[in-house]
Amino acid sequence: MNKKTVRDVDLRGKRVLMRVDFNVPMADGKVTDDKRIKASLPTIQYVLDQGASVILMSHLGRPKGGPDPEFSLKAAAETLAGLLGRPVQMAPDCVGPEAEKIAKALQPGDVLMLENTRFHAGEEKNDLELAKQMAALGDAYVNDAFGSAHRAHASTEGVARFLPAVSGFLMEQELEYLGRATANPEHPYVAILGGAKISDKIAVVENLLAKCDKLIIGGGMANTFLAARGLDMQDSLVEAASVETAKSILAKSADKIILPVDAVIADKFDAEANAQTVDVDKIPAGWRMMDVGPKTLEAYKAALSGAKLVVWNGPVGVFEFPKFAEGTFALARLLAESGATTVIGGGDSASAVKKAGVAKQMTHVSTGGGASLEFLEGKELPGVAALIDK
């Protein structure tokens, strides 16, 4: 990674403003999954061990216009205090006189959580005045929020214009593993793309095809490619506007692309729908593809055999319905047994490997859905670009 990290700067006695990704699931005012908070612990602990104080910033959810108790980071601060084993102070805002007063009084070893950055409209507009006020709270800036690095917001990009900006360990790890997939991948390299839509993944498909040896396409995306091959997908989700694009991709790279050969189909889009398994060219009228079938999984297994690097983004079926989850879970198990370096894009794929019980057997499970997708597209992420080069 060609960006400076927390290891490269002297933090002793400094107030370190750190952007973390505490956009965590909540229910009844409690954090229901603390994975993202745990992921930030090594960087927080390291900064504290260097004799600094830590001021944490994050967004949570999508509050509409101004402060809203439902989107307060108070519960996240309490969860963090439990994990760190030390008190975490809570500021009433992310800028302003009160936040400034608490920040200026911090001693080495103290931790302060600022309130939700999205309580200010200027956050998502990357308002430089807001960014300047945030920056005034600290002496140095650390970005450890890979999940928000694709957004040029005041707390991810703007602040870095006013303070020396370096990456935390989580950001470093994300860039290292995702970088393996885009910069100089090991071969054989197999990429797997799923999820519902091809339209938001065309650039990813093209970027990966230029680098990988095989590209497995599953999920709703596969329907559009199968339709491009002339198959009648009946009631399956097909993006009509993307069929021509899929045709031209197949014309150039058919030898690299692996599409489903059989499918678990349903008579309606419902968890309790009737299900059967058929070849993809034999879907009856009124039925739709919901998951990949056993022959397809055999083809996936053959493609993954001997792979050195596997990158997976997006489920290959409607895995939120138990009847149609087996393809995605079986694929997760194949990756766990593959012996390859396995890099899992965030979002649904991360949730799938967790539900399949194999998350710990993956080399790297990304904490960023949209960010990992944009990185695989070959885009430079604003939150990363803003950091100091080595």
The tens digit of pLDDT for each residue in 95-143 reads 999 999 999 999 999 999 999 999 999 999 999 999 999 999 999 999 9
Decide: 361 and 341 in contact? Cβ < 8 Å: no
> Is residue 64 situated within a structural domain?
yes
How distant, in Å, are the alpha carbons of 143, 180, 334, 366 from that of 173?
A: 12, 11, 24, 9
Catalytic residue among 3, 36, 118, 211: 36
Within this chain, do residues 329 and 194 fall inside the same structural domain, yes or no? yes
| pLDDT value at residue 257 | 98
Cβ pair 297, 334 in contact under 8 A? yes
The CATH number of residue 198's host domain is 3.40.50.1260
Reply yes or no on whether 360 is catalytic.
no
- In the 3-class helix/strand/coil scheme, how is the chain assigned residue by residue? CCECEHHHCCCCCCEEEEECCCCCCEECCEECCCHHHHHHHHHHHHHHHCCCEEEEECCCCCCCCCCCHHHCCHHHHHHHHHHHCCCCEECCCCCCHHHHHHHHCCCCCCEEECCCHHHCCCCCCCCHHHHHHHHCCCCEEEECCHHHCCCCCHHHHHHHHCCCEEECHHHHHHHHHHHHHHCCCCCCEEEEECCCCCCCCHHHHHHHHCCCCEEEECHHHHHHHHHHCCCCCCCCCCCHHHHHHHHHHHHHHCCCEECCCEEEEECCCCCCCCEEEEEHHHCCCCCEEEEECHHHHHHHHHHHCCCCEEEEECCCCCCCCHHHCHHHHHHHHHHHHCCCEEEECCCHHHHHHHHCCCHHHCCEECCCHHHHHHHHCCCCCHHHHCCCEC
232 and 280 inside one domain: yes
Average confidence score pLDDT of the chain? 95
Query: Is the per-residue pLDDT at 192 higher than 70?
Result: yes
208 and 116 inside one domain: no
Q: Has residue 270 been placed in a domain?
A: yes
pLDDT tier, 198 (very low <50, low <70, confident <90, very high otherwise): confident
Q: Are 116 and 71 in contact (CB under 8 A)?
A: yes
| Residue 2, number of CB atoms within 10 A of its CB | 9
Q: Are residues 193 and 260 in the same domain?
A: yes
Q: What is the pTM of this model?
A: 0.88
Is there a single domain that holds both residue 211 and residue 260? yes
If asked whether residues 34 and 66 sit together in one domain, one would say yes
370 is catalytic: yes
53, part of any domain? yes
Residues 113 and 133 occupy one common structural domain: yes
Cβ atoms within 10 Å of 80's Cβ, excluding its own: 24
Which residue type is seen at 336?
A
CB 166 within 8 A of CB 386: no
Final residue belonging to a domain, choices 154, 169, 184? 169
Q: Is residue 250 one of the residues assigned to a domain?
A: yes
Pick the range with the lowest mean pLDDT from 144-158, 307-321, 345-359: 345-359
Q: Which is the catalytic residue, given 197, 295, 308, 379?
A: 197
Instruction: Supply the pLDDT for residue 95.
Output: 98
Residues 282, 150: Cα–Cα separation, whole Å = 41
pLDDT band at 183 (very low <50, low <70, confident <90, very high): confident
CB-CB neighbours of 102 under 10 Å:
18
According to the model, what pLDDT value does residue 1 have? 67
Query: In the predicted model, is pLDDT for residue 6 greater than 70?
Result: yes
Pair 158, 188 in one domain: no
pLDDT bin (cut points 50, 70, 90) of residue 369 is confident
Q: Which of 122, 138, 346, 347 is catalytic?
A: 347
Last residue of a domain, one of 116, 139, 169: 169
Catalytic entry in 74, 301, 354, 370 = 370
- Based on the domain organization, do 121 and 43 belong to the same domain? yes
- Residue 271 within a domain: yes
d(CA 163, CA 17): 9
Q: 124 and 49, same structural domain? A: yes
Q: Does the active-site annotation cover 252?
A: no
31-56 tens-digit pLDDT: 999 989 999 999 999 999 999 999 99
Rg (CA), the chain: 23
Residue 111 resides in a domain: yes
Domain assignment of residue 133, yes or no? yes
Name the residue range of residue 363's domain: 176-376
Q: What is the pLDDT of residue 238?
A: 94
Task: Measure the CA–CA gap between 196 and 192, rounded to whole angstroms.
Answer: 13
Task: Grade residue 201 by pLDDT with cuts at 50, 70 and 90.
Answer: confident
Which of 77, 60, 57 minimizes the C-alpha distance to 23? 60
> Which of 169, 198, 231 is the last residue before a domain boundary?
169
Residues 161, 180 share a domain: no
Could you tell me if 300 and 211 lie in one domain? yes
- Is 26 part of any domain? yes
- The domain tally of the chain equals 2
62 is catalytic: no
